[in-house]
Amino acid sequence: MIPFVDLKSQYAMIQSDVETAVLSVLRGGQYIQGPEVLELEGRLSAFTGTRHAVSCASGTDALVIALMALGVGAGDAVFVPTFTFMATAEAVALVGAVPIFVDIDPDTFNIDPVALSHTIRALRDCDGASAALPRLSKAELRELTPRAVIAVDLFGLPADYSRINDLAEAEGLVVIEDAAQSFGASVNGKRAGALAPIACTSFFPAKPLGCYGDGGAIFTDDDDLAEKFRSIRVHGQGHDRYENVRIGLTGRLDTIQAAVLLQKLKVFEGEFEKRDWAADLYSTLLSEAGVDVEWTRVPIGSRSAWAQYTLKARDREAREALRTKLEDAQVPSVIYYPKPLHLQSAFGALGYTEGDFPHSEDCCSRVFSLPMHPYLTPEVVQQVVMAMRP
Ligand SMILES: *Cc1c(COP(=O)(O)O)cnc(C)c1O
Ligand 1 center–CA 144 separation, angstroms: 26
- The amino acid at residue 124 is R
Determine the 3-state secondary structure of 346 from DSSP. Answer: helix
Q: What number of CA atoms fall less than 13 Å from residue 229's CA on the CB side?
A: 28
Nearest residue (by CA) to ligand 1, atom 2, is 180
Interval 29-54: pLDDT, tens: 999 999 999 999 999 999 999 999 99
Share of the chain above pLDDT 70, in %: 100
pTM of the model: 0.98
Nearest residue (by CA) to ligand 1, atom 10, is 87
Q: Is 214 in the pocket of ligand 1 (CB under 6 A)?
A: yes
Nearest residue (by CA) to ligand 1, atom 6, is 59
- The amino acid at residue 186 is S
pLDDT surpassing 90 at residue 240 = no
Ligand 1 center–CA 120 separation, angstroms: 25
Best residue among 61, 65, 67, 88 to mutate for probing ligand 1's pocket (most ligand atoms within 8 Å of CB) is 88
Residues 286-292, mean pLDDT to the nearest whole number: 97
C-alpha dist (Å) from residue 366 to 160, 291, 329: 23, 14, 20
Q: Is 180 in the pocket of ligand 1 (CB under 6 A)?
A: yes
Q: Are the beta carbons of 187 and 302 closer than 8 angstroms?
A: yes
Ligand 1 center–CA 178 separation, angstroms: 8
CA 11 to chain centre: 23
Pairwise CA distance, residues 150 & 81, whole Å: 8
Q: Write down the pLDDT at residue 59.
A: 98
Q: What torsion do the CA atoms of 25, 30, 35, 38 make, to the nearest 10 degrees?
A: 110
Pairwise CA distance, residues 55 & 233, whole Å: 9
Best residue among 181, 211, 249 to mutate for probing ligand 1's pocket (most ligand atoms within 8 Å of CB) is 181
pLDDT-based confidence at 1, cuts 50/70/90? confident
Pairwise CA distance, residues 322 & 320, whole Å: 6
Best residue among 202, 212, 336, 337 to mutate for probing ligand 1's pocket (most ligand atoms within 8 Å of CB) is 202
Ligand 1 center–CA 59 separation, angstroms: 5
Give the residue with greater pLDDT, 2 vs 111: 111
Q: Is 181 in the pocket of ligand 1 (CB under 6 A)?
A: yes
**N-to-C CA span, the chain:** 22
Q: Is 308 in the pocket of ligand 1 (CB under 6 A)?
A: no
Q: Are the beta carbons of 147 and 173 closer than 8 angstroms?
A: yes
Interval 168-184: pLDDT, tens: 999 999 999 999 999 99
Residues 9-26, mean pLDDT to the nearest whole number: 97
Q: What torsion do the CA atoms of 196, 114, 86, 225 make, to the nearest 10 degrees?
A: 20
pLDDT surpassing 90 at residue 242 = no
Determine the 3-state secondary structure of 312 from DSSP. Answer: strand
Q: Is 178 in the pocket of ligand 1 (CB under 6 A)?
A: yes
Q: Are the beta carbons of 332 and 326 closer than 8 angstroms?
A: yes
Mean pLDDT (the chain) is 97
Ligand 1 center–CA 153 separation, angstroms: 11
Checking DSSP bridges between strand 145-152 and strand 216-220, what pairing results, if any? Answer: unpaired
Q: Which atom of ligand 1 is nearest to the CA of 307?
A: 15
The DSSP result for 105-173, as a single string, is: -TTTSSBPHHHHHHHHHHHHHT-TTSS---S--HHHHHH-EEEEEEEE-GGG----HHHHHHHHHHHT-
Pairwise CA distance, residues 124 & 128, whole Å: 10
Q: Are the beta carbons of 314 and 390 closer than 8 angstroms?
A: no
Ligand 1 center–CA 7 separation, angstroms: 18
Q: Is 261 in the pocket of ligand 1 (CB under 6 A)?
A: no
- The amino acid at residue 296 is T
Q: Which atom of ligand 1 is nearest to the CA of 58?
A: 7
Q: Which of 214, 224, 261, 238 is nearest to 18 (CA)?
A: 261
Interval 192-239: pLDDT, tens: 999 999 999 999 999 999 999 999 999 999 999 999 999 999 999 998
pLDDT-based confidence at 87, cuts 50/70/90? very high
pLDDT surpassing 90 at residue 377 = yes
Interval 308-360: pLDDT, tens: 999 999 999 999 999 999 999 999 999 999 999 999 999 999 999 999 999 99
